[in-house]
Amino acid sequence: MLTEEEARRLVLVEIDDVRGNVEYDLQILRVEVLSFGWLFYWGAVRDDQSGRRPRLGGNGPFLVDRENGRLIRTATGVPIARQLADYERRLRREAHARNAAAKRDARQP
């Protein structure tokens, strides 16, 4: 099980991979706590002179699952609410499959 700080470190590693491809300083802008983990929104730091934040393409938030450590880079072209709902369905399917396997194993002599 991950802590928020451990999840933050995972996301920062991913952001560092992008950092070499852009001229802006990148950082985590905000974190949304979810029932199963966190959603890390990230982007460029505000420009000191203009006060604006440069726009980046492809900087969808990172989803980090606290239970399994899974880090998922979300798509920017799909509403985040839909992606979260899809992921929650995935978690339910995985839990169902684990429960079914455990029941099969318990029945075997």
What digits encode the pLDDT tens for the residues 66-80? 999 999 999 989 999
pLDDT, position 45: 79
Residues 40-67 have pLDDT tens digits of 999 887 666 666 666 676 789 999 999 9
The answer to whether 42 touches 15, Cβ cutoff 8 Å, is: yes
pLDDT, position 34: 97
For residue 88, which phi and psi values (nearest 5 degrees)? -65, -40
Residue 4, pLDDT above cutoff 90: yes
pLDDT, position 80: 96
Rounded Cα distance between 41 and 49, Å, is 23
Residue 24, pLDDT above cutoff 90: no
The answer to whether the Cα torsion of 73, 68, 32, 27 is positive or negative is negative
Gyration radius from the chain CA atoms: 18
